[in-house]
C-alpha cells in the first residue's frame, strides 16, 4: 500500500503545476464521462482494461528508451512472442481438461501460460541484448540512436518473417481463458478475462515501480538512465544493467500479448497495432517517462473508444466524408499526439531521456 500511494503521489506531482498535462488529463476524464453516458459503462470498462495493457506495453518501451536510448521498433514482436507462447502452453492443457476435468488446473492454466510467456520474454530480451545490442554498443561511437533504430527494425522483420516461415500465417487464439459466466457489476456484465487482464497490468506496473524505487538494482537502472558515465564511475556494471533492462521490457510486452490472447489472436504481425499505440503513449507522455506512460496508456485508450463511438459527417467540395468509427481509431490518437507535440515537444509530462536528440 505504501508503494501504491507513493506512485499515486508521484502522478499528482507530475500534474501539479503542469498546464499541458492538466488540460489533457482533464479533457480525457470529461471524455470518459461522455463515453459512459453515450455508450454505457461497458465502454468505459473496456477503455480501462485496454488502457492498462497499453500502459504495460508503453512502460517497457519507455524503460528501454530511458535507460538504453534504444527506440525499440521490435517491441510489438515481443507482444507477438508472448501471444504464441501463451497459446501453445494453454491450448494443450485446455484440450486435455475437456476429457479430464480438473478445477484447480482449469483455474491456474491461464496463469501458467502467462508466466511462461513472461519467462520467454525475459530470455528473448537477454538474447537480443547480448547478441545484437552489446556488439553494436562496442562498435558505435556516434549515431547510436539511428543505428539502434535500424537494428530494431531489422529484428522486427526477422521475427515476423521467421514466425511466418515456421508457424505459418494462420491465426491462433482462444475465445476466453476462464470458462465462467461474466461478472455482474451493477448493470454491466464484464468478462472475467478482461478484469484479470487489467489487474495483471496494474500489479505488473506497481511491481516494476517498487523494483525501480526500492531495490538496489532498480536504483542502479535509474542511475544509468540519468547519467551513464557517472553510474559507471560509481561501479555500476552496464553489462548487467542493460540485459536486465531489455529483458524486463521484453517480458512486460510478452505478458501483455499473453494476457490479451482472447482479444488479439496470435499471428505473425499481431504486434504491429500494439507497437503503434505503445509509441503513441510514449511520445504523448514524454520519451523515457515511465510514470507518464502509465497515464498515457489510459489517455490513448479513451481516445480509441471515443473515436469508435462517435462519428460525424463533413462536406468538402460537395463530397461527404464520415469521420469516426473503428477505421479511424489509429487516426485520431495520431492527430492528438501531433497537436500535443507541436505545443509541448517533450510530451505532456516531459522527456526523461537525456541526450537522445544529441546523439
Structural domain includes residue 306: yes
Domain interval for residue 179: 2-343
The more confident residue out of 158 and 143 is 158
Question: Phi/psi at 322 (nearest 5 deg)?
Answer: -95, 125
- pLDDT at residue 106, as a whole number: 86
Q: How do residues 122-141 score in pLDDT, each as one tens digit?
A: 999 999 999 999 999 888 77
Question: Does 94 fall in a domain?
Answer: yes
The verdict on residue 121 lying in a domain is yes
Cell readout for 188 is 454491466
Tell me what the mean pLDDT of segment 174-179 comes to.
88
Asked whether residue 353 is assigned to any structural domain, the reply reads: no
Q: Is residue 199 situated within a structural domain? A: yes
Q: What is the pTM of this model?
A: 0.86
Residue 15 has pLDDT above 70, yes or no: no
Could you tell me if residue 354 is inside a domain?
no
- Classify 184 as helix, strand or coil: strand
DSSP helix/strand/coil, 325: coil
Average pLDDT, the chain: 84
How far, in Å, are 92, 123, 234, 259, 271 from residue 275 at the CA level? 29, 20, 35, 16, 6
> Is residue 179, in this structure, part of any structural domain at all?
yes
**Distance of alpha carbon 273 from alpha carbon 51, whole angstroms:** 14
Q: What's residue 356's pLDDT?
A: 39
Specify the number of domains making up the chain.
Answer: 1
Beta 188-190 vs 311-316: how paired, if at all?
Answer: unpaired
pLDDT digits (tens, 9 = 90+) for 286-327: 877 777 888 888 888 888 888 888 777 777 666 776 776 777
Residue 357 inside a domain? The answer is: no
Amino acid at each position: 500500500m505504501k508503494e501504491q500511494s507513493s506512485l499515486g503521489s508521484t502522478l499528482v506531482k507530475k500534474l501539479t503545476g503542469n498546464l499541458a498535462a492538466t488540460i489533457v488529463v482533464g479533457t480525457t476524464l470529461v471524455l470518459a464521462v461522455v463515453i459512459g453516458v453515450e455508450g454505457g459503462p461497458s465502454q468505459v470498462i473496456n477503455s480501462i482494461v485496454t488502457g492498462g495493457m497499453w500502459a504495460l506495453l508503453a512502460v517497457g518501451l519507455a524503460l528501454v528508451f530511458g535507460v538504453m536510448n534504444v527506440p525499440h521498433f521490435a517491441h510489438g514482436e515481443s507482444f507477438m512472442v508472448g501471444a504464441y507462447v501463451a497459446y501453445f502452453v494453454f491450448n494443450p492443457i485446455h484440450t486435455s481438461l475437456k476429457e479430464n476435468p480438473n478445477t484447480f488446473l482449469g483455474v491456474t492454466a491461464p496463469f501458467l501460460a502467462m508466466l511462461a510467456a513472461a519467462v520467454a520474454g525475459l530470455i528473448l530480451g537477454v538474447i537480443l541484448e547480448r547478441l545484437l545490442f552489446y556488439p553494436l554498443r562496442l562498435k558505435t561511437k556516434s549515431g547510436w540512436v539511428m543505428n539502434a533504430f535500424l537494428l530494431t527494425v531489422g529484428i522486427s522483420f526477422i521475427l515476423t518473417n521467421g514466425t511466418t516461415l515456421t508457424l505459418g500465417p494462420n491465426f491462433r487464439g482462444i475465445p476466453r481463458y476462464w470458462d465462467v459466466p461474466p461478472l455482474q457489476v451493477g448493470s454491466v456484465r464484464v468478462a472475467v478475462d478482461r478484469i484479470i487482464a487489467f489487474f495483471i497490468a496494474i500489479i505488473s506496473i506497481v511491481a516494476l515501480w517498487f523494483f525501480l524505487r526500492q531495490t538496489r538494482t532498480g536504483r542502479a537502472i535509474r542511475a544509468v538512465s540519468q547519467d551513464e558515465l557517472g553510474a559507471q564511475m560509481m561501479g555500476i556494471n552496464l553489462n548487467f544493467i542493460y540485459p536486465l533492462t531489455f529483458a524486463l521490457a521484453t517480458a512486460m510486452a510478452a505478458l501483455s500479448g499473453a494476457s490479451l490472447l482472447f482479444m488479439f489472436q496470435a499471428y505473425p504481425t499481431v504486434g504491429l497495432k500494439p507497437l503503434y499505440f505503445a509509441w503513441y503513449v510514449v511520445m504523448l507522455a514524454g520519451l523515457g517517462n515511465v510514470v507518464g506512460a502509465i497515464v498515457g496508456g489510459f489517455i490513448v485508450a479513451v481516445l480509441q473508444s471515443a473515436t469508435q463511438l462517435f462519428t460525424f459527417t463533413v462536406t468538402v467540395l460537395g463530397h461527404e466524408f464520415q469521420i469516426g468509427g473503428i477505421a479511424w481509431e489509429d487516426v485520431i490518437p495520431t492527430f492528438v499526439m501531433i497537436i500535443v507535440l507541436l505545443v509541448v515537444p517533450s510530451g505532456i509530462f516531459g522527456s526523461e531521456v537525456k541526450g537522445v536528440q544529441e546523439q
